[in-house]
Amino acid sequence: MKQGQKTRVGAIGGGQLAWMMALEAEALGLELIVQTPKSSDPAVSRASEVIFGAIADATTTEQLAQRCDAITFENEFIDLDALAPLEQSGICFRPRLSALKPLLDKYDQRCFLRDLGIPVPWFQSIDWHHQPENLPFPVVLKTRRQGYDGQGTLILKDREQFNQAAKTFADVPVLVEEFVPFERELAVMAARFSSGEVVVYPVVESQQINQVCRWVLVPAEVEETVQKKVNQMAQTLLNELEVVGIFGIEFFLTPDGQVLVNEIAPRTHNSGHFSLDACQTSQFAQHLRAVADLPVGDPSLKCGGAVMVNLLGYEDSESEYLDQREAIAQIPGSHVHWYGKPEVRPGRKLGHVTVCTDSTKREQLVAIAQKIESIWYPG
């Protein structure tokens, strides 16, 4: 591996996150080499080079390492144990594998945060052979590994639903946690550099439906004390793990002002997509800057406020939805990003739109999000 600045970055994963990373890599004068399983994956059309192979295939990752100076991750579907010998041989992973180890399993992640003194909801690992008797229903059941966009997450209202889940997830490691009657869901992107410097993006509010993000409002209309709590937790987490790269952190804000960590994504994240158009330095450029040892970028907004709306599939088709996309593009300040996925299915993230505006008022930002959704979704 080369010393100092890194010019060839490898990315394990070739979805839309790597696609957007590739756009920013080109602007930064970096080459992005992607490891991904399918030629139809979004990043294939943008990456400097592609190595085809499964995400968790360490043999393919070894080939990737021969072509780059450092390797980062687009998703968490990796095999840490298989990658460990590569890191020990001198291959540079950013974040390093030891920073990912306490985070990829959701139960381990909860324990790590709790032990660090960062507030989290009540939680418990489940042994289906010795089921707990007194659960505080309703509870949230989560698979411990590889759940995303609501997959592997269920809200269980009573013992009957719990017993049904026991049949469905009989062979799957899971945990349960309390259902938090939150006032709002918040999120933040934070990046740490090898120098130890941490930069935190504006705190945002996210709107989730069926555990899938529908839109993000920037900045979140919350008290300064809440912003400080979020900022402090982000800095504590990244410094404790000695991260190099960007993390997305999701929070619950309760009616009495508590801020609880919901989940951590050790990578670029959907809640930071607004930064492509609304910030001086996007989350993708910031992540690459950290990974490649480039100077720290400015995370501040270059507009008053912004709205990011996910364009989710609502049917099975192969449509490009050109009419809807063109109508959304007519909204002042809008920037439409289309990922070019060949298959449409309900809930699949097909693209997103960010609208930059002078307003920071929540009701005005919500109105913009609702206007976009009225164009996108039929009826």
Which homologous superfamily does the CATH classification assign to the domain defined by 122-178? ATP-grasp fold, A domain (3.30.1490.20)
Distances (CA, A) of 47 to 23, 216, 282: 8, 27, 18
Q: Where in the chain is the domain with CATH 3.30.470.20?
A: 184-376
Q: Is 146 left (phi over 0), alpha (psi -120 to 50) or beta?
A: left
Which homologous superfamily does the CATH classification assign to the domain defined by 184-376? ATP-grasp fold, B domain (3.30.470.20)
**Domain 8-93: top CATH class:** alpha beta
Q: Where in the chain is the domain with CATH 3.30.1490.20?
A: 122-178
CA atoms lying within 13 Å on the CB side of residue 72: 31
The gap from C-alpha 288 to its chain's centroid, in whole angstroms, comes to 15
Provide the annotated binding site for ATP.
106, 142, 177-180, 185, 262-263
Distances (CA, A) of 318 to 121, 212, 349: 40, 22, 14
- Nearest Cα neighbor of 315 from 293, 341, 344 is 344
Task: List the chain pLDDT tens, one digit each, 379 residues.
Answer: 334 678 999 999 999 999 999 999 999 999 999 999 999 999 999 999 999 999 999 999 999 999 999 999 999 999 999 999 999 999 999 999 999 999 999 999 999 999 999 999 999 999 988 888 889 999 999 999 977 666 789 999 999 999 999 999 999 999 999 999 999 999 999 999 999 999 999 999 999 998 899 999 999 999 999 999 999 999 999 999 999 999 999 999 999 999 999 999 999 999 999 999 999 999 999 999 999 999 999 999 999 999 999 999 999 999 999 999 999 999 999 999 999 999 999 999 999 999 999 999 999 999 999 999 999 999 7
Provide the annotated binding site.
106, 142, 177-180, 185, 262-263
Rounded to two decimals, the pTM is: 0.96
* Pair 72, 291: CB distance under 8 Å: yes
